[in-house]
Amino acid sequence: MPLRRHSVRRLLRRLHRSERGNVAIVFAVGMPLVAAGAAFSVETSYHYYRQVRLQSAADAAAYSGGLERLRGASTDTIRGAATAAATENGWQATGGGITVNTPPASGPNAGADAVEVLLTQSEPRFFSAVLTDRPLQFRTRAVGVYRVASNACVLALSRTASPAVDIRGSARMNLTGCDVVANSGADDALNVWGAARLAASCAISAGGVANKDGITLSDCPAPITQAPPVLDPFRDVPEPAQPSGGCKNDNGAVLQPGRYCAGMDLKDEVELQPGLYFLSGDFKANANAVIRGTGVTIFLEGNARVRMNGGAHLTLSAPTSGTYAGILFFGDRDNSQNAENVFNGDATSNLTGDLYFPSQAVAYQGSYSGAGGCTHIIANTVSWSGNASLQMDCSARGMAAIPGRQVVRLAE
C-alpha cells in the first residue's frame, strides 16, 4: 500500500533532525581533543623557543668568556663575564645553573685555549601538567675558542705606558711578515714620532695610535685600535734557578755557562759556549768588544740590565730546544725599577732570538740595524731612537710565534 505524501515528509523531517543531533554530539566530543592538540602544539613550540634561546645564551656566554680568556683574565672574571652574557640573553639564574670550564673539560677542544659553558634551565609545564607535574629541564653547551690570526715580532706588555711602543728620531723599522702590538690603553700607546717610520704587517694597540702617517702596513688598511691586549707568550716559562757552584768571572776569550755574580763586562773578543748564563749584575758590551755565541740564554737577575755600546759587534743566537728555546735574553719578572735595557752595536751586529723583559724597558739606540738576525721583542715597553734601522725577517728561522691579531669564534 503506497505511503501517503504527508507521511513521507514526516519521515524525512525525522531523519534530518537525527543527523543534526549526531553532528552536535560528534562536535561536542571532538572539540576538547582538538583544543588539547592545539594547546600541546603551542606548548611544544614555546619550549622549543626556550631551548633555542638557551643555546643562544650559552653561545654568548662562551664568546664573552673567550674574550676575557684572550685578555688573560682570572677564572673568576671569565666566569663573571660568561654569567653576565648568559643573563643578558635570556638565561635565568632562578631555576638555572651555569658551569664555566677553561679549558673545556670535554670534547675536541678539551685542554685548549678555550672556554666551555654549560647551561641548564628549568621550565614549568602548562597543558602537559595533566600528564606529570615535573618541570622540563633544558641543557645546552657552547665552546668559545680563540685563534691567532697573525703573529707579532714586537709586543709591549704594559697596560698603562704612554707610549708603550715609541719610534722616534730617524729610526726606521722594517718588519717583514709580523705585527707590532702595544697592550697599553693610552691614546698614544703606539707612537711614531717625527721623521721616524714603521713598516709592518699590522700595527695593533689596546689604546690609540699616534702619527699614523709614519706607518706603512701590508696586511691592514689602517692601524687597529681598542684591540684586546695580547697575553705574554712566555708567561708559563719558569725563571731559571740559580746555578750551583761558585761565581764565574768574565776573563778569557771563551766563557762557560754558569753564574756570574758581578755580571759581564766584555771588552775584547769573546765566545760564549752554549747554555744558560745567570747574571746577578749587568751585561755590558763595550765599544771594542766582539761577542759571539750560539745556543745561548742570558738571564738577568733582579735589577740587572743590558748595556751595549754602539761600537760593539755582537752575533748571538738562542737555543733551539729545551726550556728556554728561542729566548736569548730573559729579564727578571720581579725587576722593580723598570730598568732600561739598551741594545746598540755596530751596523753588522745581529741577534737571533727573543728579548724577553716582561717588567723592563727595551731601547734600541744609535746605528744598530740587526741585519741578518731575527729578533722578537717582548718587553714592558719598547723604543727606537737615533738612526736605529731594524731589519727583521724571521720567516725562515723556525722561532716560536708570538700571537698578534687574535679572534674568538664558537667552535662547538
pLDDT averaged over consecutive 10-residue blocks of the chain (412 residues)?
Answer: 57 54 51 50 64 85 83 83 89 87 84 85 65 73 81 91 90 82 94 88 92 87 88 90 90 93 93 96 90 95 88 87 92 82 76 91 73 81 75 57 73 74
In the chain, what is the straight-line distance between the N-terminal and C-terminal CA atoms, in Å? 87
Report how far residue 321's alpha carbon sits from residue 195's, in angstroms, rounded to the nearest whole number: 40
Q: Where are the domains of the chain?
A: 5-148, 151-407
Length of the chain: 412
Considering only CA atoms, which of 299, 162, 151 is closest in space to residue 239?
299
Instruction: Say what the pLDDT of residue 16 is.
Output: 55
Q: CA dihedral in degrees (392, 397, 402, 408; nearest 10)?
A: 110
Report how far residue 6's alpha carbon sits from residue 17's, in angstroms, rounded to the nearest whole number: 17
Between the CA of residue 242 and those of 251, 275, 279, 306, what are the distances in Å?
Answer: 21, 13, 9, 19
Instruction: Say what the pLDDT of residue 161 is.
Output: 94
Report how far residue 51's alpha carbon sits from residue 295's, in angstroms, rounded to the nearest whole number: 57
Instruction: Say what the pLDDT of residue 27 is.
Output: 47
Instruction: Say what the pLDDT of residue 19 is.
Output: 53
